[in-house]
Each structure stands twice: as structure tokens, then as C-alpha cells.
Chain A
Amino acid sequence: MAKIRDMIPAFELYQPTSIEAAVDLLDEHKRGAWVLAGGLDSFDWFKDRIKRPSAVVDLGGIPELTGIREAQGGLEIGAMTTLTEIVRHERVRSAYSVVSTAAEHVATPQIRNQGTLGGNVAQDTRCWYYRSGWPCYRAGGNTCYAAAPLAMNREHSIMGRSRCVAVNPSDTAHALIAVDAKMIVESGRGPNVYDAEDFFIGPAIDITRMTVLKPGDLLTRIHLPAQWANSDFYYEKVRDRGSWDFQLVSVAAAFRRSGGAIEAARIAVNGVAPYPVRLEAVERFVTGTSADEATANRAGDIAVEGARALRHNDYKIPMMRNLVRRAVRSLA
């Protein structure tokens, strides 16, 4: 069992000043390296002595990784841009309000001042069995303690699980999916661009990772395309404490309307699966409709098809259903 200790294990600290230098360091140290962004997830791991990297690569000194710029008609956000900057950025607020709203729902002002968008989407799951250092599947073992018959799994998944039942904790991940963001990843093999929905992976693909990022990879920028700028957005997060907490379930949606009908939609939820879930069946259903009450109700029902509760989280099914209903109903 993990115990909080007063000292973190020793590691070599590297503070590169360019993306190339950072990528070289990550490539050199591979599995032994740890990427330090805002440090809000990292230091918990280090203090608990569960993660013991030999090299920590601090990205705080790389100016290319910060800031929000116009790009290809949309916006490009550096992975080290703080959540507060995103919340306050006028163009993000006006054209991509679902992203700024999502960023505003992350934790507290102090944490948003320090936390980065890259760190928020790349953070690890908050499953307490995993976080406590138990040898679960995600930690390289062969048991999911949260899926056991008597497990405490109120916050865990209702869909998309495969052995591991943890959920993705990010408040911004599904907002990025809703605007069809592109994630730009640098590595020793060159840059790779992933659609946001493909950036997050489930345990069926790799049970030890939550994103496509492998040792040696570095998320550098997030591009918000022009296509979904100024759409009708909806974001809602349900949590135990309104002041600050991780989501139980949250929804992010983008709609484009023509006349009274929905021309196109992108809807994603988080907190229900080990990855943010894009609801393509719901999107197909609502496209071409006028988003009336009956459509919203049916959309909610479609959203939870296939959902299976664990011992303590059956409340998540109606919660997810209602959030999707409210997202569609917001257009009425």
C-alpha cells in the first residue's frame, strides 16, 4: 500500500528550452522519463512513491509550448498553456466557448493557474485502487480491484471497459472531441497528428495507457479547427462538490444549425468510460431533427444503450441519459 512520505525519490531533472531538446531527452530516457507539465498530477505520484522516474523532463522552460495563436482559420493552443489562459482568452471564449467552459470547470482557480491543457488531457486516471499502488492491470498486474464483487466503484465506468473499469478524469478531453480538435504529438520519429477522439485509448487497446502517448512522445499543440468555430455549444459537468471536484459525468456538445434543424452535431461524454466517449449514434439521430423534446428524450436513451453498471454506480446511467437530453434540449 502506498503511504505519503515527506521526500520524493531522487531523479535527474532536465529543463530543456526547445521542443527538439525535450523530444531528444524523452527519446534518450524512454520509459525512465517523466514529462512534467503543471506538476499537479506528477507530484502526487512521486510523493506516493508509486511512480519512480529516473529522469523528469520539465517543460516549463519551452516558450513554443505556451500561448494561443490563430492557425488555419482556427486556433492553436500550446500544450503548456494554462487553463486560466484558456478561460480568459477572448477568441476561445467567443468561438470555442465549450473549450473555455470546460477549462473553467477544472478544479480551482489556483489549480487552473498552474495546470495546463496538455496536462489535463494527458493526466492519469483517478481510480483509487490504482492510485494507491495496488498491482492492478493498469499498474502492470493482473487484477482489477475496482471491478471485484465488493469493490468501491461509485466513480467508475459504465461502458467501454475491458478488464480495467477506471474512467478518464479530464474535464477538457470531451470538449476537444466536440470541436474535432487535432492533437499534435512530436517524437523522435517526427510529428503525428491525431483526432482528439483517437488520442484517447481504452484498456482494450493498451491497459497501461489512457492516451496514444508512448514513452518518447510529447504532446506539443492542440489545434481547434475553424469548422466548428462559433457553433452552438453545450457543456455540463456533474460532480459531488460544486466548489471543486472531478466529474461524475459530464457532457460536451457542438451543434451547427441550418434553419430550425440540426445540420451537424458532435457530442461526447466523459466520466463514464476509461476514455471520453463520442456518441456517434446520438449525433446521427439528432442530425436533421429540430431538437424537440421527443428528440432529446430519444437521444438520451440512445446514449446509454449498452451501458452496464458496476455494484455502486448505476446512478451514472440516468445521469448520462439526462445530460445528453439536456445537451440536445439546449437548442430548443
Chain B
Amino acid sequence: MELWRRAANPWGQEVLIGVSWDLMWSAVVAAVVFLVGHAVWVKTRPAEEHAAPAPGAARGLPEKIERHSMSSRVFHWTMSVAMLVLLVTAFVPVMGLQFPWLTVHWVAGVVLIATIVYHVIRSIGWQDFGSMFQLGVSEGIATIKHVLSPKAPPPPKAGKYPFDHRMYHHVIVVVSLAAMITGALMMVRIDTPLWSPNPYLFGDSTWGIMYVVHGLSGVLLIVLVAAHIYMAIRPEKRWITWSMIRGWIDREHYLEHFDPDKWVVTGEGSPPVERGTGALADSAVTTRRED
């Protein structure tokens, strides 16, 4: 298996021109192995038991607890669509289904960059930036121990974003930024309504490195996005996926999975209870608990 593609430039110098497409297939295989492996692993483990919430913990809490605001959800799904379009337009033609992919690819890239810029500004200026970037070393160690051995005690309840969510976020931030920055620079090489192509902004070697970084990020994103979608549709995780659609989680899941001291919910501004509203109502709490 080759890792890189090379070519001789017009001056006879051997330069990188991109990653080998073998890596794309390796990423697809890695994603499938992870998904199947994880599904088998979950089957073999005893059911997770969560510590019961402290008596009276639910007092004063609304039944629906807002987790993602409307703007956060719009950002997430816009970014998701852009990312999926980017992956499909990048790799499906290489896999053999050929179509005019380039314009769709760079337009989706521009959309992704715009959503990420919006997200960064908003999370720094208007959101609890620290909730995603808290270190949580002891939580991390406990989570890893519990993953490796079901006999190890479960990790302490998390704040708004558990350890695995934070780690996934950080990895995809690094990989996406690498793809976006290189992709934005590569746009000077293509014909758009705004400018004519210029392949000489950088030298051949620099461009080669940029193509390799872009390609590596792309193949890593195949694995990361596949893992994310898989986790989102797993039965035991669907309650949190629903929160990215309707914006809230129910009080039971909040008390079961989160530490009220780390993710403080005041009850103000939570959405009103709508009972029996179709398919989404099945996992909503519709009867008041006596705590």
C-alpha cells in the first residue's frame, strides 16, 4: 500500500502531489472495523448502571431541560450537511461514481468555513466556552478505566459535555481546521466567478504538502464522521441525538447522566412541556415525578 502520490514537476524535481487513494479505502475499512467492533464490544459488556440522583435533586427542575439552542442546532445541522457533501464529493468520484463534483465541493467548503467561523465567534463571545475545554483529567482516567474494564467504577457524572464528547470535539476541530485551511488555500488554484486560478501562490513542494494534509484530513474525517453518525443512532444514545433535533433532554436523563453542580440548570428559559406531540413525544417525560 502506498501512502503518498508523487510526480516530477516541470523542473524534474520529485514532489508530493497528494495522498494515495489506498488510504481512502483504508479509512473506509477502519470505519467499518470500528463500528462492528464497537457494536460487538457493547453486546459483551454488562448493562451500564448509573448512580441514582440525590433525593430531591429534581426539585425545581423543569421537565424539559434545554441542551442546544435553536442557533446551535441550525449550526450543527448546516455544518453536518456541508461536511457530508464535502466527503461525498471528495471520495465518491474516486470510488468510481463520477459526476461534476468540484463546484459542489468548494461551495460546501465555503459553507463549512462560514459555519465554523460563526461557531467560534459565538462560542467565545456568547456561550460557556469553558464547558467544552475543561481538562477533566480524573474524569478522563476514570472513563478510560471503565471502558477497559467493566469492573472499574463508572466515571463521575459529567458537566454539559462528557469526556468522550470533549475528546471527539477536539480531534475533529484539529482535523477539520487542517482540511479547511488547506482547502481554502487550494481554492486559489481553481476557476471561480471571483478569481482566475493561480497555481503559483506557493511552490510545488509546499502545494504538495498542502494536498497531503488536505487528503489526510479527508480520510480521517471518513472515520470520524462514520463513528459520529454510528454513535448518534445507537439506541442508548438516541436521547442525546434527539436533543440536537428538538433542543432539550428530559429531566431523568439529565439527572442520570450529568452532575447538576457541573452543568447548572436554573429552570429559567426552558421550553414549555408539550404533551403527546407525535413521534418525538415518546422519550419526553410526560408525568411529573414525585421526588
Contacts and interface: CB of A to CB of B under 8 A. Distances in A.
A149 B99 contact: no
Given A147-B196, A161-B191, A135 B102 contact: no
Contact of A135 (B9, B99, B101, B196): B9
A141 B7 contact: yes
Contact of A162 (B5, B9, B100, B204): B100
Contacts of B102: 162-163, 204
B211 interface: yes
B10 A1 contact: yes
Given A1-B12, A135-B8, A135-B17, A144 B197 contact: yes
B197 A148 contact: yes
Interface of A: 1, 134-135, 139-145, 147-149, 161-163, 202, 204-206, 308
Interface string B184-218: 00000111000011111000100100010000000
Contacts, number: 59
Given A142-B211, A149-B198, A204 B18 contact: no
29 contacts: A1-B10, A1-B12, A135-B8, A135-B10, A135-B17, A139-B7, A140-B5, A140-B7, A140-B17, A142-B18, A142-B189, A143-B189, A145-B199, A147-B196, A147-B197, A147-B199, A148-B197, A162-B102, A162-B103, A162-B191, A163-B102, A163-B190, A163-B191, A204-B100, A204-B101, A205-B100, A206-B93, A206-B98, A308-B191
A201 to B, nearest CB: 8
Interface in B76-126: 93, 98-103
A142 to B, nearest CB: 5
Nearest to A148: B199
A139 B8 CA distance: 11
A71 to B, nearest CB: 31
A148 B18 contact: no
A169 B150 CA distance: 68
A205 B96 CA distance: 11
B17 A142 contact: yes
Nearest to B16: A142
B2 to A, nearest CB: 13
B199 A143 contact: yes
A122 to B, nearest CB: 18
Contact of B99 (A139, A147, A205): A205
Given A142-B18, A163-B191, A134 B10 contact: yes
Contacts of A141: 7, 17
A146 to B, nearest CB: 10
Contacts of B196: 147, 149
Nearest to A212: B98
Given A135-B17, A163-B102, A204-B102, A148 B200 contact: yes
Contacts of A143: 189, 199, 204, 207
Among A1, A141, A205, max chain B CB count under 10 A is at A141
Contacts of B5: 140
B197 to A, nearest CB: 5
Contacts of A162: 100, 102-103, 191
